[in-house]
Structure 1
Amino acid sequence: MSEPASYSRTINLAFTGASGAQYGLRLLQCLVAAGCRVQVMVSRAAQVVMATETDLKLPGSPAAMQDALTDWAQAQPGQVLVFGREDWFAPPASGSGEKAPLVVCPCSTGTLSALATGASNNLIERAGDVALKERRQLILVPREAPFSEVHLENMLKLTRMGAVIMPASPGFYHKPASVEDLVDFIVARLLDHLGIDQDLMPRWGEGRVQAKLPD
């Protein structure tokens, strides 16, 4: 029997029903390429959005979804794990599970509300609740415009709890030439926050540093 593959890190990644499925999919691709194991959760609304915004139409069952995302991300068998919406025995559902960051990308305003109030009505919400109570890294990527007072209050509340709110608002100082460049801007920031090496784009000031280094 072959030994199970070893991975550099485990990252929890949740897709919810905001626009911007491309951000989460590109992040999944980069995490796989970086040698991470990715534990994925997908809401029903996220499946609808993903099918609308991309060519990827995920099947309904977690097992079939896992196979589809494994193929799409060119991952090794077992590198991408998909857990169902009410799989309360999944590692992200408990503080005694593996200590791993959680990225919700994209993060709907409904998910923001649920996390801010501790609703825990499904696995994604429970995983966020665990991340907050255990003081684990939690990064939320909302994609909405404009933000209402309720949205802003929820983001402020979550920030005070320790979450990082990273709106899907790409910059333009890197002179993007395509939609993919705009997506990579946000994904690069996410990878930086996770402490994962990335070459999607240079960090601010790197050119100045390189220019000052001796030959």
Structure 2
Amino acid sequence: MLELELGQDQGNIIIGIDEAGRAPLAGPVTAGAAWLDHGRLDPALACRINDSKKLSAQLRNTIFEALTDEASACAVVAVGEASVEEIDSINILQASLLAMRRAAEGLIAALGAREPIRSVHTALIDGNQLPKALPCPGRTVVAGDSLSLSIAAASIVAKVTRDRAMAAFAEQFPGYGWERNQGYATPEHRAGIARLGITPLHRRSFRPVREALLLKA
């Protein structure tokens, strides 16, 4: 585990950061950040934490609730996001990195509020690019959600948070199936675009959305 390699067992504070929602045609991109307190983390829970894409929705939700349960205090998590407007303005990659930086800032603030700790030693970032102006030293990890428990936890936090947000947006904009497809370019979502048009939550910089706008022009 990368956390041990970086001295977690010697008291170094290691956090993980991952994002969800780069590919969808609609909605914000969301990043999660997580610090795990291994002294309080239930080993049975640790064994279930994995890349969010490899877990069922039910298991993701169960782990999310455990990670955010204040009574257990086994983790501190935070979320950052970049809006549709930011995605269209600076592109999805830069917006994802911005969301990651915001998640890191939120987690560091939450850690400081919980208890006096030393500064964060390393933020493990899933992928191959570091966000600009990270508030702590960072290290990229390709396929990090399979190599780092903290990144895997962050991936679950990001995925569940975004899925729940898209389900709420689906009530505001029915007919696109966001409660099921989370804004991805599924046949149901594409059919909704063809029938109902584009909403303020659609990413206009994405080709299928641009093409739909041109057809309506």
When you count helix as a share of all residues, which structure comes out higher?
2
TM-score by length of 2: 0.28
TM-score by length of 1: 0.28
Larger RCO (alpha carbons 8 Å, 6+ apart): 2
